[in-house]
Structure 1
Amino acid sequence: MALSLAFSPSGHLMVEEGAEEVWGFFAASDEAELREASAGGDGAMLLWLSAKWPTDGLPPAAVWWREMAGWYFAEFCQRGGRHEMAQPAEDKWVSYLERAPVMRGAEFLSVDGLRKVWQRLDKAVEKDIEAHGGDAEGWLRERLPHWHLVGRVTLHLAENKKSLDRPFAFLATYTSGLNDQGKPRHLPLQQAVKEHAGKKDRAALLHLLEPLSLASEQSGWAREMLESGAIYQAQGWSPGQALGFLREVPVMERCGLTVRIPNWWKASNPPRPKVSVKVESAGGGSSGLQVDGLLHFNIEVSLDGEKLTEEEMKALRTAEGLVLVKGKWVEANAEKLQAVFDHWQRARGMQYQGGMSFLQAMRLLSGAPLGGAETELLADDEVREWSSVGAGPELEAMLRKMRDPAELREFETHPDLQATLRPYQRDGVNWLRFMTKLGLGACLADDMGLGKTIQVLALLLQLKRLEPDAGPTLLVAPASLLPNWKAEAEKFAPGLRVFVAHASGDEPQRWGRFSKGKMEALKGVDLVITTYGMVTRLAVLKEVMWRLVVLDEAQAIKNAMSVQGRAVKGLQARGRVALTGTPVENRLSDLWSLFDFLNPGLLGGAKAFQRLVKSLSHKEGMDFGPLRKLVRPYILRRLKTDKSIISDLPDKTEMVAWCLLTKPQAVLYQQAVEALAATLAEVDRNSRSGLVLAALMTFKQICNHPAQHSGDAVYDAKVSGKFLRLRELCEPMAERQERVLVFTQFTEIIPALRTLLREVFRRDGLVLTGSTPVDQRRGLVEEFQKENGPPFFILSLKAGGTGLTLTAASQVIHFDRWWNPAVENQATDRAFRIGQKRHVLVHKFVCRGTLEEKIDRLILGKKGLADGVLSDGAERALTEMSDAELLDFVALDVKQTMTAAETINV
């Protein structure tokens, strides 16, 4: 399978197989070397990447990581090896992060994490040099021949404040060795030529001048300096001469020369006055900014955001090269500055005379070239170089609130909310309210277990209080999650009037009227819950103007051209919210479709977006920063790894993962109930207990998968509600690179579970059962506990329920229930124990409408009693019921489960 790079939640660069993003693959010719390098850790991988020259054919993530390695080796060469290596400054790390390309785990990137990767690269270099006998020079020439160390030429430019006519000084030096402190010792380049000539060491001289010779082939400035011999002389320069050299710095560095210049000059962003364009509402701060209104831009010439005076403008018009303005040396080019100023004046006076839309303004501010009219404003290189586009004060204040919910005011908790929100959840509700009030689509992308559901319910209660006549909200979710939403609403927001718009709902009369298009069926309803499949078939859903449309598991519309995706985008609403635990910024293939629902037009048309992605993926020095800047204000994502979040979380959260029976399961379950009723009428008392226990086992098997009951071993995932739920639950875990323990009491179903999970995680996992030899168990545990160990571990409850430490997992799934809280807790404690540094989520699968749901209620009812009340398991309690009580207990509740063929796709 094709290989790509990913960043793990623990902060390590790693290789993974089978990613689907077409821009992320390594060439097949590199795969063997990459696998070998990855075995040595991310430091060895970066070392391997540093030897790949040129970058043609490398995926964007590899080029980005290679750039960081390039900083390391530039420092390595300047220091003459690993002596007193200095990491990049904070601002350089921050800028580097902003340009991060798409890769799995990009959400976990941080300055601190990059610094640690740098340190591991340093360790890998140290180890590799030692393997070469400790000869750094020989090692570098062999391993990284494109880097120059010994005899490296350095070009120096410094300010000379003693001279008005020649305020700059130039000198070329070479690194002759290291001083007593292990730092490079610079001597004039002319002295190096004399030394090598005196020794008649022609080879050494050629090596020394090789970078200059290469630079002269690419730069007229370097060619003139070399041919005239001026490169060997210390010189005083005019501002014009200094600017000519500064413009050539990128070429010099590419050719292997070290360049030392004043800190105020950056080749990618040289200091210069710019035409400052500020986007703001037409009325300014007093009118209030409206998203559906038009925005205008103000134009002036400024330096670092400070407007230039008429006297300073005059100095710029008469100067050449560099000029001192406000105490800073800046590039002066009056002709270009005036041309760019005229460009923006024409745009304001003609194309945008009436203003621009909010979405156009957002694209303009981000700089993302998405093909709209605003892209044309920055299409010219000179316009981009001599312009500074930003938000005015009022718009900037609004954008800060969009990016950071902490900027928003505290809200009053609705009295009907039967829960206490954590601080980050209150921030989330504030943010959702702010975004929907503005009419902007919002994506709440919190990690699984951080409470997206309760934040939405709290929002709906607020809307009901503030806008009682605004109409109902429509919530669209996968069919398997309908019971969860209904139960959570009843528990936490009983003041909301909820209607499940589905044949399985508990209001058949209202459903009948609504399905026929009768709008009065929605009278008094606050929240309508339906499924993605129903949106494609129920026309009346598109006829209602909803207060909000909320999509749960919004990745369901990742395919923009699917029937499901098009149907959802056809819904009418005054506000739109998407919920997902998947890091949407890491999958550009899904990003456009999601935003086409949330904020249609923000990312341009589908073809324009595809062109942008393609250009970013194949462009040297690609920069994903503008695209991330464009979408970031509309996405709120909090991670369980965030210390400010995790400090407010319990150590463990347990939740029921409701599952729905498919039609084959429902039919088999009903047949088993009827068979039990017939047998009970004939069995004697002595045999009754065994019969009941056998029947309960049958019900468990049917709830797991029909094939487990029949024994035919054909485990089609589509005919089991639990298998479907397992896939839904684990797909976002795979995206977030979380690891999971899956417990079952049935060893016969484990191969089918392994097949399904291997497909979801795109890697194989581990299995431990009672038949696993004792001497192999320790090895399995050690394998799972490794930094980049297998993503899942399936354990039979009896074999893996005690005695194992598996803290590499932060997710636990009980695929089928033991119905004994003590046994289940022991199994959960394989992950939830000393050594676990993350919040643990426990998912207990329960089939709705079956005896599994009723036993779950029985267990919950015993929570307040002493441990051991159900120590023999709930099965024993059932054997003591009367026939009537037992049959009522195991009976299928058709109102709580699905028994139609539509189950799978609705």
Structure 2
Amino acid sequence: MEFHQYTLTTIDFGSVSRYSYFSWMDSALANIQVNVVEMEFNQATFQVLENYRDFRVMVIYRSPVTSLFCNCGETGFCSHQKATLTRLFGQENWLSFFDFNRYRNLLKKIAVQYGLEHEPLLENYFSAHIKDAALQFVLKDKHLTSIDDFDLLEPQTRPAKIHSEQLHSFIVLTRNRYYKQLQVLLCQAPLSKSGTPKNPISTVESQSRIWQTDSIDETQFFAAISQLAQPLQQTDTPIGRSLRAIAKNPLALDFFLHDYEKAENITATSLSPIQIGLSKGEIKLLIEQRGSFYCIKGELSIHGITYELQDLTILFDHFIAIKKYLYLVENKLHLKLIRLFGNKGNELRIHRNKFKEFNELFLAPLANSVALNFKDIPKANKPQLKENLYYQDMQALIFLEESEDFVNIIPVMRYGDVEVPILSKRNIFGTDAKGSQFLVERKKEAETKVISLLLKQHTYFQEQLDDDSFQHLYLHRKYFLDKNWFLNAFEEWHQHGVQIIGFNTIRGNKLSRFKGKIQIEVLSGQNWFNANIQVKFGPKSVSLKKLEKAVRNRSQFIPLDDGTLGVLPQEWLEKFEAYFNAAEVIEDEHLQIPKFKFNEIDQLFSNEEIDHAVSVEIDYLRNQLSTLASYPPVQLPDIFVGDLRHYQQQGVQWLNFLDKLNFGACLADDMGLGKTVQILAFLATQKAKGITTPTLLVLPTTLIFNWKREIEQFLPSFNTLVLEGPNRRDISEQFEELDIVLISYHNLLTDINRLKKLTFNYVILDESQYIKNPDSQRYKAVNLLRARNRIILTGTPIENNTMDLFAQLSFAIPGLFGNKKYFKDVYTTPIDAFHDRKRKKMLKEKIKPFILRRTKRDVLDDLPAKNELVLYCEMKTAQRRIYDLYEKEFREFISAKDGDEIKKSPMHVLKGLTKLRQICNSSKLLQSEDLTSAEDSAKIEMLIEQIQHKKDQHKIIVFSQFVSMLHLIKEALDKNGIPSLTLTGQSRNRGQLVSDFQSNEDSRVFLISLKAGGTGLNLTAADVVYLVDPWWNPAVEQQAIDRIYRIGQQKNVTAVRLISPNTVEDKIQALQQHKKEISSTILEDGGSLDAFYLDKDYLLKILR
């Protein structure tokens, strides 16, 4: 007979399992027997037995297409193809041949013997297939050899090999010779030419097979055989579950029935083949009244064939035998009924006087699992159905009741005022106005929909549904009350119109049956966005204060007014945590979100929740803040004396626009681009608007002179007061007369108690990186100052790590980031430690509206070129010997410590690194006679040579972190007759030294320490700068270079770094480049970032 084909494109064998459900599945398919004939990767042939007819089904899988072939002669998707797929899904060992990952795990079982279990392409070495119900592996390379192939015993002690035929495993059902009870044995024997077992037949210990399989079904199968191989001395021993596991036959083994009359022992002649399966047939009782008696007949329909109950044979107390089939009957009532008819013949007769009692005691209990057909009771007609509203008032119900530690789930359908358990066979009887009885037909389609709904909601339910003993499903209390299960299940039941009864009767249960619902509307206020939020669990509302408390405590339960507890899903906790971090609860009615967080509104809320007017306002703010060209022009008042470059004019426009919105700001232009003059122009526009309240400027001590001079130049009419010296006075009396008050960070700490009582128009911080540590006294002090608004100025907003941004912008725009822990968890750790690109982008978008940063490259087309070079200075022999000695000692110190110990000893680590860097400069910096080379260092020699060649045409600046190195350089310059100036932190005449270098042509070389020259210097007379020693933080170096490369510079600038090759300095260069890349993604320039991390692995890398 020819095969017909059906193709499916919706099955992914990688995701299917025994619990998979498809619309074409039918419970009747379980009655069809399916066995493997042959199986290999992605294809198999099955034997399908239905109504004692034998068919063949082939399955070929070429992802994502599954082709099914059957020789039944039908067309379309036939029952044999459906049954084959259903059985295939239920057998994990079969699925292993249709999913690559499962198949690979299968091959690993044989690969282990050859040491190949970790090879990526096991299929190149092995294949597997099932034939004759046995799993077999095949070597693709016959030369592959395992240890088991070697016999290492000496010849005289080696046992003789027994060359036996291949043994075939099968199952034998027999009776225990002593207890006459069912005994199930796993046996093996060679096969005859006809394929049947032949002697000798031996039993196999099934217990050992349990540990050889990963399949749950196979484990249960062997465990059941192990139980039933032993004598059951108590007749009530529960063996139903074991029999079910055996009847499933996951390995598709052959079954045989042992005939005691032929042989007491199991021999080939005493065995007859049988098929075994679960009975999914329907028992029906036909009841009719004949004269004074009610006559009852019974029948069983299975595989489309009907048998009278008296003709059925019960075997082993649990099976019915039909020809060569044994069907497991799990319902004890069914077995009793079959026995009753076997004793009484083909009909039971009950006198009508006893029928009422018979109906209550016998038929009513049977009605749950047996179909009762009353021939004398007609089906209801349309008027009868309409009168009683059976179909108009249909309602699906789910009753919940406790049974010890379990919760029973009873699906019920209500027809009018009659409730029927859906999993029962119970009939619905009614009586019309005339007293005539009628039968109401149950709506199987509606009831099946309820069962299908339940089956999707827990993996246990399918197996429970297969057990005819129960008219309900069940779950352990622990699983039932799992918040994710019952909430989602109840919601889906409600959505399908199913009523739930009995939830509140479960002991110890205080949970609300309702899944929470949120309604949100975001509206615009004057300086805020207001989010009106309603949270309800069924009819009960929850206040925002209660919700905030639960979220802050990370509690997933919130008390409701009816005494129950609402369950907060994890996604709610995360969502509301974001709400409460971004906003403040106002009068328990709504959330108030500052308008400077406009960029977060559409991240926090969906489009449906945001009012149209809010969306328009947010679009306006984004458009205005997206480009400098979009800001309204600002006319500078006459009180400002001077001219602004175009980009400086744009900066003033930007500051005025943010001022209009009451937003704080961070002006982060490159050093030398005129942040000072932009601020002064902005303050002039404030004065022109009639604002007379003074501005407080907080800045480093070294910059006070510069600011005062700039104010005198550009705002000569302003009344400026500098709070400095030991006799600083209270300014409250003259407060209204002042325009600008200048104070250093140092003096602010002393005067904060007086200044915090005053309210300024603006508080402006110059070099705001001075407050980058949120735990510092400076940070705490500036946050005590009161002002209408705040601005910070810095050329390096990030020096050490992203936490620098938190401190500075939290001052300028309070509330922008939430608390320190939140910022660290969300931004600092992911970005600095793990280079999280997504978080970098989030942070960049968050700060973008409030930071204006222009580099020289961006805004000064006429700025001369800047060239940065590296000169490698190979250390001399003695210097290298000292370096290698110290490096070895330091590397051994690091290797002996674990990561935590290193982080707890930062001073030891920094001291060791500093020594290595000093040696790279000159071993004389160690100040140790034993380890000091008499020779000059390679760097000093190269530097002197460079200066000698360049000093006549260029003014030169030399930077070093080490003051002692500057002294050595000065000594070398003096020896060579080259005059120089020196500026360090100890220099008292700072201004005079700078002026001398700038204006005196004879001053050609200026030696400056990095610390002293990092800020507040304008050295445009120079055009060559040497960086003697690199530092971890490129921002510090950049600050030094920018002392020269700034506004007013007319010449090309050359910056030269002196590096000792094959030393820690090489690694510092690499670290600098890495930090520049991170900073660029956040600040959109090549700025600086991040101090050295005390990481053991990195330390060992830089120590060669």
Confirm or deny a common fold (TM above 0.5).
no
Flag the structure with more relative contact order, 1 or 2, with Cα contacts below 8 A and sequence separation at least 6. Answer: 1
TM-score, normalising length: structure 1: 0.36
Which has the larger share of strand? 2
Larger radius of gyration: 2
